[in-house]
């Protein structure tokens, strides 16, 4: 069964600290993996997209890694800011008869405090 599991479920860190969020998936055939940031009351906004051949991708203070062999991904946030408080969702795309489809993780809720 295609699944995306994220950990931790929630995380509280102090402003300025780094953190790493985890994503494990059992999705095939794999197309790509995305990380989205969802602020409360808003729609998800894309942070990174990685295909099978990409190991790492950065977007400012966000760095995502992908190990396609172990089917694991991580999102590292450097020097956290209060505005980083949000839900971070790991989304895996796979090939199907219609082209591609998305499987969403439940997200990690990050709270950055001062």
Partner 1 sequence: SAVISQKPSRDICQRGTSLTIQCQVDSQVTMMFWYRQQPGQSLTLIATANQGSEATYESGFVIDKFPISRPNLTFSTLTVSNMSPEDSSIYLCSARTGGYGYTFGSGTRLTVV
**65 binds partner 1, rule: CB under 8 A:** no
**86 binds partner 1, rule: CB under 8 A:** no
**Geometric angle at alpha carbon 27, from 26 and 29, rounded to 5°:** 135
DSSP string, the chain: --EEEEE-SEEEEETT--EEEEEEEE-SSEEEEEEEEE-TTS--EEEEEEETT--EEEETTEEEEEETTTTEEEEEE-S--GGG-EEEEEEEEEEETTEEEEEE---EEEEEE-
**107 binds partner 1, rule: CB under 8 A:** yes
CB 17 to partner 1: min, Å: 25
**80 binds partner 1, rule: CB under 8 A:** no
One residue of 1, 14, 29, 43 binding partner 1 per CB under 8 A: 43
**23 binds partner 1, rule: CB under 8 A:** no
**49 binds partner 1, rule: CB under 8 A:** yes
Residues that bind partner 1 (CB under 8 A): 4, 31-32, 34, 36, 41-46, 49, 51, 89, 93, 98, 101-102, 104-107
């Amino acid at each position: 069964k295609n699944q995306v599991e994220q950990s931790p479920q929630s995380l509280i860190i102090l402003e300025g600290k780094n953190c790493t969020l985890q994503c494990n998936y059992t999705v095939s055939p794999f197309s790509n993996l995305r990380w989205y940031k969802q602020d409360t009351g808003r729609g998800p906004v894309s942070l990174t997209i990685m295909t099978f051949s990409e190991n790492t991708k950065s977007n400012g203070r966000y760095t995502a890694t992908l190990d396609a062999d172990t089917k694991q991904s991580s999102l590292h946030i450097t020097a956290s800011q209060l505005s980083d408080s949000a839900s971070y969702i790991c989304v895996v795309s796979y090939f199907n008869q219609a082209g591609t489809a998305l499987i969403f993780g439940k997200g990690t809720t990050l709270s950055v405090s001062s």
